[in-house]
Amino acid sequence: MITLPQLTELLGWVAVINLSFLVLVFITLTAMKKTIMPMHSKMFGINESDLNIIYFKYMASYKTLTIIFMVAPYIALKIMGY
């Protein structure tokens, strides 16, 4: 059985990993946009103009889910003292 301090530590590390991944994706999309967009456009048959919206929706959804399921419970457990 997992204890509350163990759960707090787990959520903290999972939040760090997910937020790090989000930053990595942002940096990659920003720095390599001219390389990635044509490749994704050809792979999935999507206009390059639509890819910006798709990238934004992906990052917004990922960030929202990370905050709701990892960061918020971690902060709540830290406030409770675990």
**Which tens digits make up the pLDDT trace of 35-55?**
999 999 999 999 988 999 999
Q: Say what the pLDDT of residue 61 is.
A: 98
In our burial notation (b when 16+ CB lie closer than 10 A, e otherwise), range 31-41 reads eeeeeebeeee
Average pLDDT over residues 8-18: 97
Q: Say what the pLDDT of residue 82 is.
A: 85
pTM: 0.85
Counting the structural domains of the chain, the total is 1
| Full domain range(s) for residue 22 | 4-80
